[in-house]
């Protein structure tokens, strides 16, 4: 089989420099929804090795091509460039060389890159019906309560299609028809090629319409049938940001419903945002204004939020993440984070650790039972078990050119307002006095101090205050 995905449209109504199909729904590009369904369809019918995908792109679609190459390299995607955007028929004509590579009776599916929710199950039903009815083409249709603006599917009987009539060209009687064309098709390769040879642009818009292939095939004595889809949502398209937001809301509601039915408590679904690939364990509670983005796995009995943002993280069981930002972080069981903490890429927090308010970690491995509860920055560090990091502690890991590593042994105690200048190693059970600047390694069980001597000037404060007061009065 061949899957053709039409993705060359500029999406003028999106008012964007980004290709329309690269705009995202719950963090996932529109085109990715279509590609995932097509790939699953090929895999489910065990034809992946004998199938291919051709994406029709414009001549300014490098961003789209890079995305497909990066994420779908396993299917060896092909590209056809629609140099002139001259209609849906013109897009399919651009892929004609790939259609010619298919055997005559091979199936060619034509999908729209901006219709994201087509399912593998529907594609399977389309393939079965075109086979069972020995048709040359099959159109996916849907009945709408208000079909205004859509092309009407005019039939000869219950299944066989006579033609598609656009709304503006339809008679009053034809406008009463509720069955509309979704723009999704499957053809026999040979029949599609024959129809494309006869396709012309003799119309007001001077464009090639793929819908005209229906009339062409009928005039050739070919059989065209339809499959009526029950779920209109599955073929909802996106033309502007309003429709994008509407579909985003629908998808988000479905995602939240899925999690709630699987044992997750979501306090306020209207103000909770979870991407589609997120996994959450039972009895976890998600508080309002929480954003859980792609690549997250969250365990059982956690409390997430309020006002937290989590992305590409693995979080264990019984964790609490309050008003914090986590990205690219692994958090083990029974860890408390926040409020107002930031855990950055490459950080791993082991069991029973505590990360408190205004603490930032980057590429830091904190072992079991350690804690940094206030106002600290720990970067490029390995911290042993049961270490206490005092408030205001900083690992000075960057010298302006390179990053350097700090190692703190288990059971060490780092006093408040300490600066640890990397590269440096602090041994197990060591004590770092508050206010110290540590520039050299500290031995196990040692006490390290790095302070200036305290000096006291008797009665000097009074003299300074009086002088400052005189200067202020003089200015006034």
Q: Which residues are part of the catalytic machinery?
A: 374
In whole angstroms, what is the distance from residue 230 CA to residue 432 CA?
69
Among 33, 13, 1, which Cα is nearest to 236's? Answer: 33
Helix/strand/coil percentages in the chain, nearest 5: 30, 30, 45
DSSP character for 22? G
Evaluate whether 268 touches 252 at the Cβ level (below 8 Å).
Answer: no
From the number of C-beta atoms within 10 Å of its C-beta (0-12, 13-18, 19+), residue 24 rates as: middle
Evaluate whether 418 touches 435 at the Cβ level (below 8 Å).
Answer: yes
- The token duo for 160 is 């066989």
Evaluate whether 189 touches 99 at the Cβ level (below 8 Å).
Answer: yes
The structure tokens 């040979």 sit at 190
Enumerate residues 6+ apart whose C-beta is below 8 A from 448. 426, 430, 431, 432, 433, 436, 438, 442
In whole angstroms, what is the distance from residue 302 CA to residue 297 CA?
11
In whole angstroms, what is the distance from residue 137 CA to residue 118 CA?
18
In whole angstroms, what is the distance from residue 238 CA to residue 30 CA?
9
Among 182, 189, 183, 192, which Cα is nearest to 51's? Answer: 189
């Amino acid at each position: 089989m061949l899957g053709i995905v039409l993705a060359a449209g500029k999406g003028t109504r999106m008012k964007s420099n980004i290709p329309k199909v690269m705009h995202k729904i719950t963090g996932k590009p529109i085109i990715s929804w279509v590609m995932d369904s097509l790939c699953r369809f090929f895999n489910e019918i065990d034809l992946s090795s004998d199938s291919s995908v051709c994406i029709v792109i414009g001549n300014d679609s490098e961003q789209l091509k890079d995305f497909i190459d990066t994420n779908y390299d396993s299917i060896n995607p092909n590209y056809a460039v629609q140099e002139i955007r001259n209609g849906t028929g013109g897009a399919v004509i651009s892929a004609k060389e790939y259609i010619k590579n298919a055997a005559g009776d091979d199936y060619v599916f034509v999908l729209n890159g901006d219709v994201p929710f087509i399912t593998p199950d529907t594609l399977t039903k389309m393939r079965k019906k075109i086979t069972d009815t020995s048709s040359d083409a099959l159109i996916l249709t849907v009945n709408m309560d208000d079909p205004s603006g859509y092309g009407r599917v005019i039939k000869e009987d219950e299944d066989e299609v006579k033609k598609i009539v656009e709304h503006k060209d339809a008679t009053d009687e034809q406008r009463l028809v509720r069955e509309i064309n979704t723009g999704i098709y499957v053809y026999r390769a040979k029949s599609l090629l024959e129809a494309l040879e006869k396709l012309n642009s003799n119309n007001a818009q001077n464009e090639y319409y793929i819908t005209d292939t229906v009339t062409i095939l009928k005039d050739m004595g070919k059989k065209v049938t339809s499959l009526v889809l029950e779920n209109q949502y599955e073929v909802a398209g996106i033309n502007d940001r309003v429709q994008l937001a509407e579909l985003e809301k629908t998808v988000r509601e479905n995602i939240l419903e899925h999690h709630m039915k699987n044992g997750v408590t979501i306090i306020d679904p209207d103000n909770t945002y979870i991407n589609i690939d997120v996994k959450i364990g039972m009895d976890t509670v998600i508080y309002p204004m929480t954003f859980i983005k792609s690549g997250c796995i969250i365990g059982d009995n956690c409390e997430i939020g309020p006002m937290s943002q989590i992305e590409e993280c693995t979080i264990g069981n019984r964790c609490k993440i309050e008003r914090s930002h986590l990205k690219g972080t692994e958090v083990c069981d029974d860890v408390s984070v926040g409020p107002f903490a930031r855990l950055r890429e490459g950080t791993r927090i082991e069991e029973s650790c505590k990360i408190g308010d205004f603490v930032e970690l980057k590429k830091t491995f904190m072992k079991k039972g350690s804690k940094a509860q206030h106002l600290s920055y720990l970067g490029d560090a390995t911290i042993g078990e049961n270490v206490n990091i005092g408030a205001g502690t900083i690992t000075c890991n960057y010298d302006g050119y390179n990053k350097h590593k700090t190692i703190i042994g288990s059971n060490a105690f780092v006093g408040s307002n300490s600066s640890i200048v990397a590269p440096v190693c602090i041994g197990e059970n060591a004590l770092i006095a508050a206010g110290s600047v540590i520039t050299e390694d500290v031995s196990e069980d040692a006490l390290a101090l790095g302070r200036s001597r305290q000096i006291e000037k008797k009665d000097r404060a009074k003299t300074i205050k009086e002088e400052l007061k005189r200067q202020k009065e003089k200015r006034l």
